[in-house]
Amino acid sequence: MSSPQASGPGWIVIREGRNQRWGGELRRRQIFSRLAERTDARVIESGWYPNLIRRAAFGDRFALVPGPLLRFLPGPQPRPRFAASEKLRDRLLDAAIAVTDPAVVAVYDDPVAQSHALGVNRDPAWLAEVAARQRRNVEAFRWQVVPTRSFAELANLDLDRVIVGGNGTDVQRIRVGPWPDRPVVGLVSGAAPGRGIETLVDAVAAARIDVPEIELWMWLIATGDDSARYLDGLRSEHRDHPWVHIGDAAHGELGEALAHASILCIPHPPNDYMDVALPVKLFDSLAAGRPILVTPRTETAAIVRGLDVGVVSDGDRPDDLAEAIVELIGDPDRMYALGARARLAAEERFDWRIVGDRIADAVLSREGGSGPIDAAAAAPAAGPAAGTGTP
């Protein structure tokens, strides 16, 4: 069966252009790239500014009209359909509503729920602002692409307007490197409390009782002032622990960095938000060709178990993780087999071109009137059953 193609008015896609360092930025770059290619869309990637939307909507005929004057022109007819790879701020959304037909927006986080989950004390005014932004975007766009069905339920989205897109990685950027000559547990994450970082440090310390040569390598990125202070404190706390290495790596260097690890861990603590999350780092870790160790969070555990690419710990205590680490390190053949399956899954199911095509199929089918589609469930049959909201 051929894939759905565009019909009717043209498309505009706004996506990340300048920043392509970490998973979230790559997602904003890639999530609608195949939709843009298949619809021959006008692509906005030089910035997130209202005038760029207006100029894309009016097209070449108005190329010489100064940007400020475009806001006074009546919207083009028919209006081009619009896809946004991120929720839009008010002025940008106002412009989109004025001159386009807002079709689909990617909603991959809920900042209020996430702040509570991570234990970050946010200003109440900021929380109210981002909650209002999410509501406005959800109201404005016909469809919302989300990572998991369970996320959509937690965020109180209308499931009839949701496309479950999953998440992805770039297998060209992240390549499999040689295995290290000593056991290393690795973690790539934003720097913040509530991500299980301290639990993983304690777990590796416990594992070193049985395997003294184990090291912990963490590639952490500061995502704001609070995050930077947290990261500084973490470095200070472990300065005298030579087995703890804390660094960073741009996404283009991530494959080389992750190759330092024997096991890649996602130690998310127990809470409702982490149960529905499907982080980019899971798929980047798959692409690195290493076994994945996760705590028993619903969506990440479903991927790891369903594809047999790693281990789900029995619990959330450091000792639970330590037991799994020691067990894996003690069975190199199993580690290599799990790592090979992880890379194969990344190549065959989760590369952004494949994920992007599934999302484009779903969007174009819905815009063509063929009804709801779960893009993630349209993935190849291996792994979790279709329709669960997990790719």
Report pLDDT digits (tens) over 33-92.
999 999 999 999 999 999 899 889 987 665 555 556 666 666 667 899 999 999 999 999
Greatest Cα pair distance, the chain, in angstroms, is 71
Q: What is the pLDDT of residue 388?
A: 32
Closest CA to 39 of 82, 84, 100, 2: 82
- pLDDT at position 289 over 90: yes
Residue 20 has pLDDT above 70, yes or no: no
Other beta carbons within 10 angstroms of residue 182's beta carbon come to 12
Report phi then psi at 101, rounded to 5. Answer: -105, 95
Least confident among 154-158, 188-192, 262-266, 380-384: 380-384
Distance CA 95, CA 52 (A): 9
Res 370 pLDDT > 90: no
Q: Structure tokens of 250?
A: 């741009």
pTM summary value = 0.86
- Provide the token pair at 351: 């590369």
pLDDT greater at residue 65 or residue 181? 181
**Among positive and negative, which fits the CA dihedral 250, 286, 87, 9?**
positive
Bridge partner list, 81: 11, 101
Please tell me the distance from the alpha carbon of residue 358 to that of residue 373, in angstroms, as a whole number.
10
- Identify whether 78 is preceded by a cis peptide bond (ω within 30 of 0): yes
Angle, vertex CA 112, rays to CA 276 and CA 148, nearest 5 = 20
Confidence of residue 386 (pLDDT cuts 50, 70, 90): very low
CA distance 263 to 216: 10
Quick one: how many helices (H) and strands (E) in the chain? 17, 12
Q: How far apart are CA 121 and CA 113, in angstroms?
A: 12
DSSP SS3 for 205: helix
Q: How confident is the model at residue 213 (pLDDT cuts 50, 70, 90)?
A: very high
Between CA 316 and CA 328 the distance in angstroms is 17
CATH superfamily assigned to domain 184-348: Glycogen Phosphorylase B; (3.40.50.2000)
Binning pLDDT at 50, 70 and 90, where does residue 385 land? very low
Chain centroid to CA 294: how far?
16
**Residue of 23 and 271 predicted with greater confidence:** 271
- What mean pLDDT value characterizes the chain? 88
What does the pLDDT average to over 362-376?
68
Least confident of 91-95, 186-190, 248-252, 342-346: 248-252
CA distance 152 to 133: 16
CB 115 within 8 A of CB 122: yes
Neighbours of 219 (CB within 10 A): 23
Rounded to whole angstroms, the Cα distance separating 252 from 25 reads 12
Strands (E) across 256-309 are located at 263-266, 292-294
On whether the CB atoms of residues 293 and 263 are closer than 8 A, the answer is yes
pLDDT at 384: 34
3-class secondary structure, 20: coil
Q: Return the SS3 of 155.
A: coil
d(CA 107, CA 93): 14
Mean pLDDT comparison of 185-199, 251-265, 352-366, highest-scoring range: 352-366
What's the whole-number mean pLDDT along residues 208-230?
Answer: 92
Residue 389: pLDDT band by 50, 70, 90 thresholds? very low
**Does pLDDT of 5 surpass 60?**
no
**Residue type (1 letter), 157:** L
The terminus-to-terminus CA distance of the chain in angstroms comes to 21
pLDDT at 334 over 80: yes
Token pair 């992880």 is found at 342
The yes-or-no verdict on residue 28 having pLDDT over 50 is yes
What is the rounded CA–CA span in Å between residue 81 and residue 235?
47
pLDDT for 373 equals 42
**Tokens representing residue 283 in the block:** 């798929």
For residue 317, list its beta bridge partners: none
pLDDT at 299 over 80: yes
Average pLDDT on 18-25 reads 71
| Pairing label, strands 143-146, 162-164 | parallel
Based on its alpha-carbon atoms, the radius of gyration of the chain, rounded to whole angstroms, reads: 22
What value does the mean pLDDT take over residues 19-29? 78
Dist. CA 215–CA 201, nearest whole Å: 10
pLDDT of residue 190: 86
Structure-model confidence comparison of residues 298 and 249, the more confident one: 298
Second CATH level (architecture) for the domain 11-168+351-378: 3-Layer(aba) Sandwich (3.40)
Task: Return the domain boundaries, the chain.
Answer: 11-168+351-378, 184-348
Sequence-ordered strand ranges (E) for 126-214 = 143-146, 162-164, 184-190
